[in-house]
Amino acid sequence: MSTTTDFDFIVIGGGSGGIASANRAASYGARVALVAEGPLGGTCVNVGCVPKKLFWNAAHLATSHELAAGYGFSATPWDFNWGSFKSHRDAYIQRLNGRYAEGLENNRVTLFRGHGRLRGKNQVSVDEKTLLSAAKILLATGGTPIWPEIPGAELGMDSDGFFALGEQPQRVAVVGAGYIAVELAGVLRALGSDVSLVVRRNHFLHGFEPMLREHLMEAMQTQGINLLAQRQVRQLRRDANGLCLDFAQGDCHGGLDAVLWAIGRRPQTSDLGLVAADLATDDDGFLAVDKFQNTPVDGIYAVGDITRAPALTPVAIAAGRRLADRLFGGQSERHLDSSLTPTVIFSHPPIATVGMSEIEARERYGDEQVKCYQSRFVPLLRAFQSEPERTAMKLVTVGHEERIVGLHAIGDGVEEMLQGFAVAIRMGARKRDFDDTIAIHPTSSEEFVTLR
């Protein structure tokens, strides 16, 4: 190994949290090293939010075309060219990779390409060739898709494999019940694939406000997504008709071109040299941190998907920046409060949600304290459809002041509505503050300030 190079701060992982923290620390004058394997930007930029949202945009355009017919446009279907879309998408992502590299260079962060591993509490090796040392080390190595441990699993693909596909699969089964499963199932269906969604229980999106998932389930079934509920996959095999899923329940689902495993993600902590620094993960591979991102070992910190914080890019970024503010910016109490984290699921239709579900609020505050307001309506955009997809909204309030503790919506445009409402709720908005706000008409978001 080469001689040790000394820094103030070493960050392992060039994804959302790691890059944000490295840049912020360097902006305070710290000497920062970033150790990164894989393309810069990590999951979000390369195999997560960005390619997913570009796919969602493509799917949105495809479905808008159906709507346009009602407005008098010609109903000739557009042809979607998967290959051309992919090459535009890949080129865009490459530009983003370049911008991240430029950003690091401009901030004077020293980039080491390779696998980082702890070599004690203050040292990190890069590909076992270079040794770096620093009093402060941040672990931000993110997560990776989980594969089922069943015969034939390798015949399927994970979300990384989905983004690498050169051609559109025509008959696809998506296995999983989380947001990635419903998002990718929705995208594929909107782009014309024949899609089944295989879930172990009766429904998907566990933990979300039930109104949202019930509405989405109805919409997906109307769109022609085949929901195979209460199915546990026992094996995947190939026969003369293509891929075939065998279920523990005894039946099977065959004739498939592709099977997408979207059954969760696990933190990438197994090859980080944690033992060398006296660190250990919990049984699921996560690192424990306190509200300041401190691990139990002094001088070693963790942010993002390797912690149990919500696995979202803005959460990883905010945690990474706040940590740097605290360690190098003189802001000793700076930390992330990830309660009231707003979230959008880019399903078809999209879901926007912040705060507690009605069930959570009733459990926390008791039935007498909780009052909910709901609405379900046809948005004006869909006025000319014979069977229009509806929009649904719900406010969860508590106490005599009716403080808003949850806001949930599903329907056209909600993905862009949520951010401002999340600010208001964070500031302690009450129902009457919403009522006192003049509506913007005609929009769907006005419904939130006119609910009775």
Cβ distance 138 to 302 under 8 Å?
Answer: yes
Residue 72 to residue 56: CA distance in whole angstroms: 25
Q: How far is the CB of 338 from ligand FAD (least distance, A)?
A: 12
Query: Contact at 8 Å (CB) between 398 and 365?
Result: yes
Which residues in this chain contact ligand FAD in the complex, by CB under 6 A? 12-18, 35-38, 42-44, 47-49, 52, 115-116, 140-143, 159, 180, 268, 272, 304-305, 311-314, 316
116 known member of a binding site: yes
| Nearer residue to ligand FAD within complex by CB, 282 or 435 | 282
Q: How far is the CB of 17 from ligand FAD (least distance, A)?
A: 3
φ/ψ (deg, to 5) at 131? -115, 130
Please check if 58 is assigned to a binding site: no
Q: Please, what is the minimum distance in Å from the beta carbon of residue 169 to ligand FAD?
A: 16
Instruction: State which residue, 347 or 397, has the beta carbon closest to ligand FAD.
Output: 347
In this structure, what DSSP letter does residue 146 have?
A: -
By beta-carbon proximity to ligand FAD, the closer residue of 12 and 190 is: 12
Nearer to ligand FAD, 42 or 148 (CB): 42
Query: Exposed/middle/buried for 38, CB within 10 Å: 0-12, 13-18, 19+?
Result: middle
According to the annotation, is 176 in a ligand binding site? Answer: yes
Helix (H) or strand (E) holding 363: helix 358-365
- For residue 383, the SS3 value is coil
Asked about 441 being catalytic, the answer comes back as: yes
Q: What is the distance between the alpha carbons of residues 286 and 228, in angstroms, rounded to a whole number?
A: 31
Tell me whether residue 53 is annotated as binding: yes
Furthest C-alpha separation in the chain = 72
Q: For residue 41, say whether it is annotated as part of any ligand binding site.
A: no
CA-derived radius of gyration, the chain: 24
Task: Single out the catalytic residue among 253, 335, 348, 441.
Answer: 441
DSSP code of residue 368: G
Q: Is 305 annotated as a binding residue?
A: yes
Handedness of CA 433, 435, 436, 441 (dihedral sign): positive
Residue whose C-beta lies closest to ligand FAD: 15
Min CB(311)–ligand FAD separation in Å: 4
Shortest Cβ distance from residue 395 to ligand FAD (Å)? 24
**Cβ contacts of 91 within 8 Å, gap of 6 or more:** none
CA distance 430 to 403: 4
**Is 192 one of the annotated binding-site residues?**
no
Does the CA dihedral 196-200-201-205 come out positive or negative? Answer: negative
Q: Is the Cβ of residue 137 or residue 392 nearer to ligand FAD in the bound state?
A: 137
Catalytic residue list: 441
- Tell me the binding residues for NAD(+): 176-183, 264, 305
- Which residues are known binding-site members? 53, 116, 176-183, 264, 305
